[in-house]
Chains A and B, each alone.
Chain A
């Protein structure tokens, strides 16, 4: 199947004014400005197939949002090529824009003082959605997200999570084929995050839409995305299955056990994460896990032994710590 999103050597450089701190430097800035060239996105390439749910990961300032903005036509790339659904996004062709949507967790587009229903109506006009199709879609989304009693309240009276649900409904009424979701669960509680996730998954399943998602909550990515793309400092660090990423980068495993015997020097087995009372948690290099486990079981009377992979957050952190060279 041909890819729906295809970018090649995509780059975006910004000219950012810079100066020393202080009044004098600020005044000098009026006369002569120094600029620094910042490579927000530095020649990244990837392809995404129709219907894929891809997690887009990276620390703050890695270039995720910049990439999403180039893909949705908001920013003109400095160099490289982008193709989304066969269109060049920066041309902002209406046929292209009709098939995509951009949701940003920290920004609202619904009218603050009006019930969401009125804002939905506006989306209908903007996207020229036929009336009955619009009603059908709207009611379907309202039902899935269970917000029937909220759509008539002014948006300003809704909680953050409720508002986000409305934002998502508003952003999907035209049934886009491609969803760019930038931190859609930002600031939401765990339950609400899960609801939004379920809805995205459901939408993806029902309409076969392609989703590119950025999130700081690894739970979002784990639950939704089989494939992840990791970038840092504008460079692509990893592109592949989430499980492969974990396998590749979780260099350590965590061994937890309960023991009766008197104080032993646990550091001979690995890094001691915690040793409180009879419960001990150790961190050991992946390849030594089985050796350490058998030593513990044979030599000492340990009970309730568990071996766990490092949490995905730690894995991601180690990806960024290791850097590009090691990944290749």
Chain B
């Protein structure tokens, strides 16, 4: 018996220690990015300053001058916010209809919506460039980026909302109907207050996906509507000279989203597995 309790005592220390080590290893690259951002470009590549150096904020204060950071950041904020908003405006009524008045085809429609998400973007790269540049004339506009971000996330938005709305008892909505509340009233006064948490986490997650999107935002913009993904991709090869400032601008690009992500990690599971894993 003594050995059993001893080994479990050892296990009580060993397993958590191992868990901590693994977590720190996974977090290390992010830590290193932030750490490097406080070094000067010269110090960042010198082994003697690997861990001990004089920290500086210059990389952050010069970010506007070096990279025009704020222009890209503002574009990211504008496009991600409006795309999220529009996706919700289109998605909430659709998910409401599917959750509370399902027809024979609802399941098929949901499946089909999901399948649009699986189309490889690269397959329609040239047609999209051609359409937006030569025919519609909306290439490199905020409108185009918002539209595309909204469309590529719409299936996930509808799916997530649908999973949340399904949890609401139908009777509550029916009771509203008995009282003669209009459909708009049902959505506004009954559904939205009840599903507020679900709608908020859907919005948060959509915002994160929009912010991190790197295919369409890079391919369909040049200057005017370019987002942070374009900025970073444009500086992909700093030739080792600018590690410090590159680390700073990268930190500024990911920090808000990583922190936002911490708050919605639970919803991520439901959102990305379409409610199939509980």
Tell whether A and B belong to one assembly: no
User: Which B residues fall within an 8 A CB radius of A?
Assistant: none
User: Which A residues fall within an 8 A CB radius of B?
Assistant: none
